[in-house]
């Protein structure tokens, strides 16, 4: 009965809400979905993956919504502009930093409008798999993107970055790499360091949770990033995602039947909520 009453009091979700407007850009790419709780709550922000060129905020969102609700968080899931491989080489092709600029703009909108929707805009945890893992790590470490939105980086209480090897792009692109990296970050090495979370670390970062898995090369990048964070005094929690394939990481997070990642994710969210 109590669960039914709480459900009845929960505000309806806010879907396809634009967080910025840019000429010539489809509004869907610059929109977010917000799922508030019945009472004011901290905010879990989900940033989807897809190699910076595909993906959508609605994918598997029921599991992420359940994860947030069980952990005492409202949930926001956002879209951002994508680097279309079909127009690579054209003047209209989108490269970094448009993706992270959009993530920061969405966070800014959430922060400014939080009170109106019963959300604690001063207490956010960012979570993303694959390309989303790179984006949440970068927006947290390179403070200029949040500062452009007049946000204090201290509102970020935790960063959950799952299964990516893009923390050190100069090192990653020095190795054989798929076209997704050049498609998103270009062919000029001068910009790769600036787009790498590793090169923006500082002592006052919030706790990080990383999912490390895959071949030795990917594991090494993940573990090296964890070590670099720890050297700055950052609390780092590492989840072993080795039983899962890359697409399964994003799919598994929040599934009630998942015993590989979800219990550790829930524990991390609890720590970040009580911080």
DSSP string, 118-143: TEEEEEEEEEEETHHHHHHHHHHHST
Q: What is the dihedral of CA 142, 229, 65, 111, to 10 degrees?
A: -30
In a domain, 4, yes or no: no
Domain containing residue 203: CATH number: 3.40.50.1820
Quick one: pLDDT at residue 274?
A: 83
Low-confidence residues in the chain, pLDDT < 70: 1-8
In a domain, 235, yes or no: yes
The encoded tokens of residue 139 equal: 């927006």
Please tell me what DSSP assigns to residue 207.
P
Q: What is the dihedral of CA 275, 263, 265, 80, to 10 degrees?
A: -140
Q: Is 41 helix (H, G, I), strand (E, B) or coil?
A: strand
Quick one: pLDDT at residue 9?
A: 77
Quick one: pLDDT at residue 1?
A: 39
CA distance 160 to 199: 18
pLDDT 10s digits, 97-113: 999 999 999 999 999 99
**In the chain, alpha helices (H):** 2-9, 61-70, 98-113, 131-141, 144-148, 169-173, 179-185, 216-231, 246-252, 262-274
pLDDT 10s digits, 67-76: 999 999 999 9
In a domain, 233, yes or no: yes
CA distance 2 to 143: 42
In a domain, 219, yes or no: yes
Which residues is 209 bridged to in the sheet? 160, 237
In a domain, 174, yes or no: yes
Angle at which helices 131-141 and 98-113 pack, to 10 degrees? 70
Prediction pTM value: 0.96
Q: What residue numbers bound the domain in which 104 lies?
A: 17-274
Domain count, the chain: 1
In a domain, 189, yes or no: yes
Instruction: Label residue 96 left, alpha or beta by phi (over 0 means left) and psi (-120 to 50 means alpha).
Output: beta
CA distance 39 to 21: 30
Please, what's the b/e burial string for 137-170 (b: 16 or more CB within 10 A of its CB; e: otherwise)?
A: bbbbbbbebbeebebebebbbbbbbbbbbbbbbe
CA distance 75 to 160: 14
For tokens 């790590």, name the residue.
137
CA distance 237 to 16: 33
């Amino acid at each position: 009965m109590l669960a039914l009453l709480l459900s009845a009091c929960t505000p309806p979700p806010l879907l396809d809400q634009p967080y910025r407007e840019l000429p010539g850009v489809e509004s869907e790419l610059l929109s977010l979905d917000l799922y508030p709780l019945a009472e004011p709550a901290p905010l879990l922000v989900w940033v989807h993956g897809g190699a910076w060129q595909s993906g959508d905020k609605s994918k598997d969102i029921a599991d992420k919504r359940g994860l947030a609700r069980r952990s005492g968080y409202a949930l926001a899931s956002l879209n951002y502009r994508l680097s279309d491989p079909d127009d690579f080489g054209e003047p209209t092709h989108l490269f970094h930093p448009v993706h992270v600029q959009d993530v920061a703009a969405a966070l800014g909108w959430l922060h400014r409008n939080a009170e109106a929707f019963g959300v604690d805009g001063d207490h956010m945890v960012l979570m993303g798999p694959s390309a989303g893992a790179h984006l949440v790590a970068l927006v947290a470490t390179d403070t200029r993107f949040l500062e452009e939105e007049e946000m204090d980086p201290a509102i970020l209480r935790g960063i959950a970055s799952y299964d990516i090897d893009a923390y050190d792009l100069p090192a990653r692109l020095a190795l054989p790499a798929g076209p997704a990296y050049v498609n998103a970050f270009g062919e000029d090495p001068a910009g790769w360091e600036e787009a790498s979370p590793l090169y923006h670390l500082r002592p006052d970062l919030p706790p990080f949770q990383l999912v490390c898995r895959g071949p030795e090369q990917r594991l090494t990048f993940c573990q090296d990033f964890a070590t670099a964070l720890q050297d700055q005094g950052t609390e780092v929690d590492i989840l072993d995602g080795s039983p899962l394939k890359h697409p399964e990481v994003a799919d598994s997070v929040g599934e009630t039947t998942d015993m590989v990642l979800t219990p550790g994710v829930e524990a991390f969210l609890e720590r970040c909520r009580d911080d």
